[in-house]
Structure 1
């Protein structure tokens, strides 16, 4: 009895290390790829750099929901692969431990991570997605200062033009400022300043541009010559452009929580398109979470190579299966949202086929003597590898001398 908890702890350690490592790597790859595109987007819109980090923070739940199944698959697969290649699995099987017993710890991980993923995709991700869309809206509308671009003439309302040579400290410190404004009477005020900074006011529609060390030129049809004034500090009020308020949460199905999707899918006051999209997205999220309970079966079946083989084909196939199943679910969601196929049929039929594949692979490994679910693929991969190595040796062979 004392050996069983020790074995569970040992298997848990074998799973935990690659699970965390692969989850971290997958998460980092997704974040780095998105970070580059976000920097380009924010730079194009002229927003401050800090917005990139806020947008990335709101993408964390979405990337976690994608990375958790991959981390779970590779964690279990690499743990059992190590047991198999070191002959520890043969010892455990020899002392009477079945694969069902050995799957106790993997399913404990699967259950915990499935609950975590359900909380993420069902309740956290909708709010994070809405916040992300709000930041995009603010950037495009200029609410984050994105309407002022360094080195370009920028219209501030209908009667004011502003140009800034340099910007530091995310727009709080400005250098090389030119501003020109025209009032309703035809009077023109132009100013240049070496430094400046924006300051808030009590009026939400107006900000103050405080200029330092500059020259102000006042022109008017009433003046024979323009008036010129040098100043150390001068406060210039600038009207902010009118910004449309961002829409309420729920403008897209990905912004609704699971209970809200259920309500929207049954609400006869909603349009047919909205009801179909809500139902399709609800079933998509549930299928994605339910698929995690099939991962231990597939991971164990792919982890154990044929005898006297160290092939890593199973590792490659595990990623291919996960990505393929995810893409099929996305395509099925689109079919359900368009009304081409009922969302239940579109999403749950592929899931049942995936479940049948997982059960067959596990049954072949655990209950068929000498069974190897991917044995045929292993043999093909071995022959291809031998052919490639033979060709390499031929090309590397030195030409014979006469």
Structure 2
């Protein structure tokens, strides 16, 4: 019988868990996605880079999305049991709350290991990849240096302007090219200017050069400033372009966001600078707390899931999300204060954890007592507040209606 109960709980938890995990991740990246679109468009980069950048940022958001998903998965499953009176039936046949925590703890352990891998190793690597993409966009390594309708300096005295770009840059329309040669013996170098109806970039065997193939255009060649320019019409003309030298991106490890857990631990032990050691300690302890908090979620989710008798209030769902997000912000603030040296980095993380632990265990202890209602008082206060607000709103509506009737009668 107990195995059937475990399988039943597993099925109830896993669907809302993954559903809320996906929704939470999408909501967390939505705001960043809009800003990334603005950044990529302003830099003139391809839109596909946005999805690569979001993919590299996803592990960072999953460090909060996973705890929210696990907690809501457990909470919604037990709320369904409570609302359908199945929970009362299980308690009546001798299945205790502690026994029912077996499956939630299984999920908590699995996702604690997943979160440990994400915040410990995956998140630093993907953060470095994200910064690398930003660097390549700004340096033009992704083709972001040529913008439609603007004059682009390609280096070496070469200027290019494109009126229209089709097929993601494969088909260029309305081109203007000006190439100025280097001056010799105090004289201006030769100048070549061309306009073309169409053009495209082609790769060459030399990695330092690309070929700009122009079609259906006019070329103006001036050997010097004093010489008479020559005008030629062409059906096709190939212009070699030397690629500008791109600066190489730095190595991974700038700041604690790009450091793995072993690297942070090594910095804590070997660093001679107090500020560097304090910063590494703050980041290390916060990441450990982000993983350990997973084991407290069942103790918080189950009491918040069980509404008071004869009540269908979803106040527990709302309060549990607020509690978890508040804890996340407290640890984030504690990491900053610990880095600045205003708070001890260890206490800044583990004191909020101890408070969260005490709250979760107290709520679960109240639930285990006969007739225990952990959020009963809060639900009653919330009902009184909503009743007062709705009554006040009703009075305002009636008063406004009375004023309108008086004005219309007058």
Does the Cα contact within 8 Å between 1:283 and 1:343 map onto a contact in 2? yes
Q: CA deviation at 1:372?
A: 2.2
CA offsets, 1:209-243, max 9 Å, x none?
12122111111337642111122222212233332
Q: CA deviation at 1:158?
A: 5.0
Q: CA deviation at 1:146?
A: 0.9
Does the Cα contact within 8 Å between 2:63 and 2:290 map onto a contact in 1? no
Question: How many Å separate the matches in 2 of 1:267 and 1:165?
Answer: 57
Q: CA deviation at 1:293?
A: 0.8
Q: What is the aligned partner in structure 2 of residue 188 from structure 1?
A: 191
Question: How many Å separate the matches in 2 of 1:31 and 1:341?
Answer: 31
Q: What is the aligned partner in structure 2 of residue 385 from structure 1?
A: 386
Q: What is the aligned partner in structure 2 of residue 263 from structure 1?
A: 266
CA offsets, 1:231-285, max 9 Å, x none?
222221223333211000111211111111111221235x433322222111111
Q: CA deviation at 1:130?
A: 0.8
Q: What is the aligned partner in structure 2 of residue 146 from structure 1?
A: 144
Counterparts of 1:113-132 in structure 2, within 5 Å, are 113-132=111-130
Q: CA deviation at 1:53?
A: 1.7
Q: CA deviation at 1:28?
A: 1.8
Question: How many Å separate the matches in 1 of 2:63 and 2:13?
Answer: 19
Q: What is the aligned partner in structure 2 of residue 37 from structure 1?
A: 35
1:325 matches 2:327? yes
Q: 2:315 aligns with which of 308, 313, 316?
A: 313
CA offsets, 1:162-185, max 9 Å, x none?
111111232232111111121113
1:370 matches 2:368? no
Deviates further, 212-221 or 113-122: 212-221
Q: What is the aligned partner in structure 2 of residue 137 from structure 1?
A: 135
Deviates further, 144-153 or 226-235: 226-235
Q: 1:100 aligns with which of 98, 101, 114?
A: 98
Q: What is the aligned partner in structure 2 of residue 285 from structure 1?
A: 287
**Which blocks of at least 5 consecutive residues in structure 2 are unaligned?**
184-188
Counterparts of 1:200-211 in structure 2, within 5 Å, are 200-211=203-214
1:336 matches 2:341? no
Deviates further, 12-21 or 213-222: 213-222
Q: CA deviation at 1:374?
A: 2.3
Does the Cα contact within 8 Å between 1:337 and 1:343 map onto a contact in 2? yes
Q: CA deviation at 1:396?
A: 5.5
In the superposition, the TM-score normalised over structure 2's length comes to 0.92
Q: What is the aligned partner in structure 1 of residue 82 from structure 2?
A: 84
3-state DSSP of counterpart to 2:155: coil
Q: 1:242 aligns with which of 220, 239, 245?
A: 245
Q: What is the aligned partner in structure 2 of residue 252 from structure 1?
A: 255
Does the Cα contact within 8 Å between 1:49 and 1:170 map onto a contact in 2? no
3-state DSSP of counterpart to 1:377: helix
Distance 1:43 1:352, change over 3 A: same
Size of the alignment, in residue pairs?
A: 398
Question: How many Å separate the matches in 2 of 1:106 and 1:53?
Answer: 34
Does the Cα contact within 8 Å between 2:127 and 2:257 map onto a contact in 1? yes
Q: CA deviation at 1:205?
A: 3.5
In the superposition, the TM-score normalised over structure 1's length comes to 0.94
Q: What is the aligned partner in structure 2 of residue 227 from structure 1?
A: 230
Q: What is the aligned partner in structure 2 of residue 23 from structure 1?
A: 21
Does the Cα contact within 8 Å between 1:48 and 1:171 map onto a contact in 2? no
**Which blocks of at least 5 consecutive residues in structure 1 are unaligned?**
none
CA offsets, 1:140-197, max 9 Å, x none?
1111111111111111115121111111232232111111121113211111111112
Question: How many Å separate the matches in 2 of 1:272 and 1:391?
Answer: 58
Question: How many Å separate the matches in 2 of 1:204 and 1:265?
Answer: 44
